[in-house]
């Protein structure tokens, strides 16, 4: 960096500057190390997932085939795993551990999708309305109480939500309703899972949406008020469209969370993989299956055990799609106000 | 601003405007003993003023003297500020706008406002202009009203082929004219403008000035400005506020700039004070 002509003090490297440079360099190395650790861990998880999932479909892990020369053999075919014909015929069965095993994953995919969609019907409207209330309607005093409350709600461990479902939502709220239809509700139900995951993800929608709404400049609100807009007009036709990209991001995060949600949904919706339209019947999500398999009796390395990784891979793909969707929305609906 | 005694702001343009000034003054807005407080701090101190119909009334004064506060009193935009309290009378066509039975939403539909910083909505040009009419439930010929408003704001020719593009894609001066179009589209009676040209370059500003002149044919315009020449050029009447929120002089613009009653006003106008 030094040149022949000295341009003045503090520009060329004296001792102090060299010291600062050293420190800067070390800080850079530490930070890079941490970032690299994160990336490597993620890659390792992804690698283990794929490696094991391969053994579900080909009888041996990818690493075994490459490094130990194990011959691939067909175990569970991809066609079998995602057999649409059986799905349409209503014969799809997910029972890898059964005496007559069946490896059609649609029932648990259905379970996850049903819970996710059902939860979205709860969290999106209520979360958005909450965000609008907190951001646009609530007085500063109310807001200062409501925001921390929502954050507490977001911080409750999911197992607690799970027990809330099993001890309250299902028997106390849904039991009598099911009774009206002459249905005897069991310990678990699909609707209970939808509700509890929906409730769990409300704070996610509301707090992220509210941040986006708060970021809308007051200039825009005042412009609308000065035209004779009511609070409702301003909320619906100015704030919401201006904050739409953040609001969408909150929906996608909530949906991703619902897809991956495990503890609460396992306790609420149950362990019985089946495709049903009856909201009071027990179903099983992919995550619930993974929990029961991981703590079950199947030996590590068996096909039933390796199904864990195949299901995990499907789950991973679903959340990946949500992430891509998020990116796309962000680009498409960039916050436009300046 | 000029600093010497003999270079009082020119009022030549203002005297061109005698055509409009000939009409008898009909008071639209009247403040009587108007006090405004932010918390304990008084921002306006017993202001009395009568603003004539179809005229341009300029409000000038040093920074912090309460010009914006006064303007926001007229359409009750001060309601948005929690700590703001208004005492006294501010009547619109003889009706005190702070009476309990006055709906600020209805009031603002008759008293439009243009802000210092252009603030078009992140919507299309068309939707910006149509916004006021839409929220009022207007169900007539929207296209015609949008065109009329854009023509009224001298923006039609520049944007008629891009009505669907975002209002934010316009230049600053165009954005401000879009905001004017947005304000006049619902056909208010009064238009309040808070330093509408201060964020604009001189060319864009002079376009807005020309526009204000035309607007006064149809609307009552109240404009806050820091630009003495601008006040002298475009207004019929001028109100001078000085520090402490006091209205110290209110008169014909020519009189205020040529021969003010108050020595402090003369000092302020010639740049010796404020
Ligand atoms: N939202 C507010 N909350 C508290 N005090 C305020 C608020 N707005 C204005 N004030 C105070 O009221 C007084 C008048 O402010 P105002 O904005 O009306 O002045 P102004 O004449 O428009 O000034 P400028 O020329 O700088 O725009 C100032 O002392 C200011 O500090
Ligand atoms: Mg101001």
User: Domain holding A123: CATH number?
Assistant: 1.10.3720.10
Token look-up 């179809």 returns B54
Atom in ligand 1 nearest the alpha carbon of residue B241: 21
pLDDT of amino acid A208: 93
Token look-up 């909320």 returns A235
A251 and A315 in a single domain? The answer is: yes
Cα A311 to Cα A103, A108, B111, distances in angstroms: 11, 9, 63
Q: Do the domain assignments include residue A100?
A: no
The tens digit of pLDDT for each residue in B151-181 reads 988 899 999 999 999 999 999 889 999 999 9
In chain A, residues 103-162 whose CB comes closer than 8 Å to chain B: 139-140
Inform me whether the C-beta atom of residue A222 falls under 8 Å from chain B C-beta atoms: yes
Is 50 exceeded by the pLDDT of residue B51? yes
pLDDT of amino acid B14: 43
Per the CB < 8 Å rule, is B105 touching A227?
no
Pocket test for ligand 1, best of B61, B62, B67, B73 (most atoms within 8 A of CB): B67
- Chain B residues interacting with chain A (CB cutoff of 8 angstroms): 75, 77, 80, 82, 105-109, 112-113, 115, 117, 119-123, 131-132, 134-136, 166, 168, 179, 182-183, 186
pLDDT of amino acid B80: 87
| Mean predicted confidence (pLDDT) in A225-235 | 94
A39 and A153 in a single domain? The answer is: no
A236 and A286 in a single domain? The answer is: yes
The percent of residues above 90 in pLDDT, for chain B, comes to 62
Atom in ligand 1 nearest the alpha carbon of residue B245: 14
Q: From ligand 2's centre to the CA of B241, what distance in Å? A: 12
Q: Do the domain assignments include residue A79?
A: no
Q: State whether the beta carbon of B69 lies less than 6 angstroms from ligand 1.
A: yes
More confident residue, B19 or B29: B29
A233 and A307 in a single domain? The answer is: yes
More confident residue, B200 or B225: B225
A212 and A165 in a single domain? The answer is: yes
Q: Do the domain assignments include residue A91?
A: no
Cα A175 to Cα A122, A183, A200, A275, distances in angstroms: 19, 9, 21, 21
**Interatomic CA distance for residues A205 and A251, integer angstroms:** 6
Q: Check if the beta carbon of residue B242 is closer than 8 Å to that of residue B268.
A: yes
pLDDT of amino acid A4: 53
**Least CB–CB distance from B113: residue in A220, A226, A237:** A226
Go through A94-122 and write b for each residue having 16 or more CB atoms within 10 A of its CB, e for each that does not. bebeeeeebbbbbbbbbbbbbbbebbbeb
Q: How confident is the model at residue B22 (pLDDT cuts 50, 70, 90)?
A: low
pLDDT of amino acid B239: 94
- Among candidate residues B202, B249, B197, the one with its CA nearest the CA of residue B224: B197
More confident residue, B24 or A275: A275
Number of separate domains in chain B? 1
Token look-up 């997932």 returns A49
First to last CA, chain B: 11
Q: Do the domain assignments include residue B20?
A: no
Q: How confident is the model at residue A70 (pLDDT cuts 50, 70, 90)?
A: confident
- The residues, any chain, with a CB within 8 Å of residue A280's CB and separated by 6 or more, are A174, A178, A181, A183, A185, A189, A190, A191
A121 and A249 in a single domain? The answer is: yes
Is 60 exceeded by the pLDDT of residue B20? no
A332 and A201 in a single domain? The answer is: yes
- The residues, any chain, with a CB within 8 Å of residue B186's CB and separated by 6 or more, are A227, A228, B109, B112, B132, B133, B136, B138
| Mean predicted confidence (pLDDT) in A228-254 | 93
Q: Where are the alpha helices (DSSP H) in A133-262?
A: 140-155, 158-164, 175-180, 190-214, 218-225, 231-233, 240-242, 244-260
Number of separate domains in chain A? 2
pLDDT of amino acid A11: 65
Q: Do the domain assignments include residue B131?
A: yes
Q: How confident is the model at residue A1 (pLDDT cuts 50, 70, 90)?
A: very low
The overall average pLDDT reported for chain B is: 87
Partners of residue B239 on adjacent β-strands: B59, B250
Three-state secondary structure readout of A6-63: CCCCCCCCCHHHHHHHHHHHHHHHHHHHHHHHHHHHHHHHHHHHHHHHHHHHHCCCHH
| Interchain CB contacts (distance < 8 Å): A and B | 71
Q: Do the domain assignments include residue A122?
A: yes
Token look-up 């210092």 returns B116
Q: Do the domain assignments include residue A209?
A: yes
- A237 contacts in B (CB within 8 Å)? 131, 134-135
Is 90 exceeded by the pLDDT of residue A2? no
A118 and A30 in a single domain? The answer is: no
Residue by residue, DSSP assigns A207-222 as: HHHHHHHHTS-HHHHH
Is 60 exceeded by the pLDDT of residue A8? no
Is 80 exceeded by the pLDDT of residue A322? yes
pLDDT of amino acid B16: 45
Q: Do the domain assignments include residue B274?
A: no
- The residues, any chain, with a CB within 8 Å of residue B167's CB and separated by 6 or more, are B120, B121, B122, B123, B124, B125, B127, B128, B175, B178
CATH number at residue B225: 3.40.50.300
The tens digit of pLDDT for each residue in B129-141 reads 999 999 999 999 9
Q: Do the domain assignments include residue A7?
A: no
Q: State whether the beta carbon of B104 lies less than 6 angstroms from ligand 1.
A: no
First to last CA, chain A: 40
pLDDT of amino acid A251: 95
> Which residue segment(s) compose the domain that A248 sits in?
105-336
pTM over 0.90: no
Is 70 exceeded by the pLDDT of residue A338? no
> Which residue segment(s) compose the domain that B98 sits in?
3-15+25-269
Q: Is the dihedral of CA B201, B112, B212, B10 positive or negative?
A: negative
More confident residue, B266 or A112: A112
The tens digit of pLDDT for each residue in A135-166 reads 999 988 999 999 899 889 889 999 999 999 99
Q: Check if the beta carbon of residue A230 is closer than 8 Å to that of residue A238.
A: no
pLDDT of amino acid A232: 94
Q: A238 is written with which tokens? A: 């100015």
The percent of residues above 70 in pLDDT, for chain B, comes to 90
The percent of residues above 90 in pLDDT, for chain A, comes to 63
Token look-up 């604009």 returns B200
A55 and A117 in a single domain? The answer is: no
Q: A305 is written with which tokens? A: 């055990």
Which range of A87-91, A298-302, B24-28, B184-188 scores highest in mean pLDDT? It is B184-188
pLDDT of amino acid B1: 40
A56 and A117 in a single domain? The answer is: no
Q: Do the domain assignments include residue A250?
A: yes
pLDDT of amino acid A6: 55
| Mean predicted confidence (pLDDT) in B224-246 | 91
Number of H helices, E strands in chain A: 16, 2
Q: How confident is the model at residue A20 (pLDDT cuts 50, 70, 90)?
A: confident
A224 and A116 in a single domain? The answer is: yes
The overall average pLDDT reported for chain A is: 89
Q: Check if the beta carbon of residue B205 is closer than 8 Å to that of residue B234.
A: no
| Mean predicted confidence (pLDDT) in B69-85 | 92
Q: Do the domain assignments include residue A260?
A: yes
- A217 contacts in B (CB within 8 Å)? 119
Q: State whether the beta carbon of B63 lies less than 6 angstroms from ligand 1.
A: yes
A182 and A47 in a single domain? The answer is: no
Taking phi over 0 as left and psi of -120 to 50 as alpha, with beta for the rest, A151 belongs to alpha
Q: State whether the beta carbon of B68 lies less than 6 angstroms from ligand 1.
A: yes
Q: Is the dihedral of CA A124, A129, A133, A135 positive or negative?
A: positive
């Amino acid at each position: 960096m030094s040149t022949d002509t000295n341009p003045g003090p503090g520009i060329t490297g004296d001792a102090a500057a060299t010291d600062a440079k050293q420190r800067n360099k070390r800080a850079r190395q530490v930070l890079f190390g941490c970032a690299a650790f994160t990336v490597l861990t993620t890659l390792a998880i992804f690698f283990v997932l794929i490696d094991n999932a391969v053994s579900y479909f080909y009888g041996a892990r990818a690493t075994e085939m490459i490094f130990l020369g194990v011959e691939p053999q067909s175990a569970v075919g991809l066609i079998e795993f995602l057999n649409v014909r059986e799905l349409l015929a209503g014969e799809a069965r997910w029972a890898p551990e059964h005496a007559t095993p069946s490896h059609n994953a649609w029932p648990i995919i259905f379970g996850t999708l049903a819970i996710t969609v059902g939860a979205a019907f709860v969290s999106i409207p209520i979360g958005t309305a909450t965000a609008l209330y907190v951001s646009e309607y609530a007085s500063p005093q109310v807001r200062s109480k409501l925001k921390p409350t929502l954050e507490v709600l977001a911080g409750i461990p999911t197992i607690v939500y799970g027990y809330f479902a099993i001890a309250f939502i299902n028997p106390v709220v849904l039991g009598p309703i099911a009774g009206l239809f002459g249905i005897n509700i069991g310990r678990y139900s699909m609707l209970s899972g939808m509700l509890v995951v929906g409730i769990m993800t409300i704070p996610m929608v509301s707090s992220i949406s509210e941040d986006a709404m708060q970021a809308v400049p007051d200039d825009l609100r005042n412009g609308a008020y000065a035209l004779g807009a009511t609070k409702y007009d301003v909320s619906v036709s100015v704030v919401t469209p201006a904050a739409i990209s953040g609001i969408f991001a909150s929906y996608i995060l909530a949906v991703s969370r619902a897809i991956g949600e495990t503890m609460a949904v396992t306790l609420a919706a149950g362990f019985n993989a089946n495709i049903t339209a009856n909201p009071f019947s027990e179903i099983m999500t992919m995550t619930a299956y993974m929990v029961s398999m991981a703590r079950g009796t199947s030996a590590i390395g068996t096909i039933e055990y390796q199904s864990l990784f195949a299901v995990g891979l499907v789950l991973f793909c679903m959340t990946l799609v949500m992430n891509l969707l998020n990116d796309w929305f962000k680009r498409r609906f960039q916050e436009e106000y300046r | 601003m000029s600093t010497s005694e003999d270079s009082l702001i020119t009022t030549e343009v203002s005297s061109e405007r005698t055509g409009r000034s000939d009409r008898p003054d009909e008071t639209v807005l009247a403040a009587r003993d108007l006090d405004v407080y932010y918390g304990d701090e008084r921002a306006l101190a017993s202001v009395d003023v009568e603003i004539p119909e179809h005229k341009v009334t300029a409000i000038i004064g040093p920074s912090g003297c309460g010009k914006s506060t006064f303007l926001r009193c007229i359409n009750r935009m001060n309601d948005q500020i929690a700590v703001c309290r208004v005492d006294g009378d501010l009547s619109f066509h003889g009706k005190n706008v702070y009476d309990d039975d006055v709906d600020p939403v209805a009031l603002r539909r008759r008293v439009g406002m243009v802000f210092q910083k252009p603030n078009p909505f992140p919507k299309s040009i068309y939707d910006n202009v149509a916004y006021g009419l839409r929220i009022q439930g207007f169900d007539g010929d929207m296209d015609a009203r949008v065109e009329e408003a854009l023509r009224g704001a001298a923006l039609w020719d520049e944007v008629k082929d891009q009505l669907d593009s975002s209002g934010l894609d316009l230049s600053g001066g165009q954005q401000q004219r879009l905001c004017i179009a947005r304000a006049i589209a619902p056909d208010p009676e009064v238009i309040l403008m808070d330093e509408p040209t201060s964020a604009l370059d001189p060319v864009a500003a002079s376009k807005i000035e020309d526009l204000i002149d035309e607007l006064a044919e149809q609307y009552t315009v109240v404009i806050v400005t820091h630009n003495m020449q601008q006040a002298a050029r475009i207004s019929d009447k001028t109100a001078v506020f000085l520090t402490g929120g006091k209205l110290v002089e209110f008169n014909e613009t020519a009189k205020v700039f040529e021969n003010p009653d108050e020595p402090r006003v003369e000092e302020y106008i010639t740049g010796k004070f404020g």
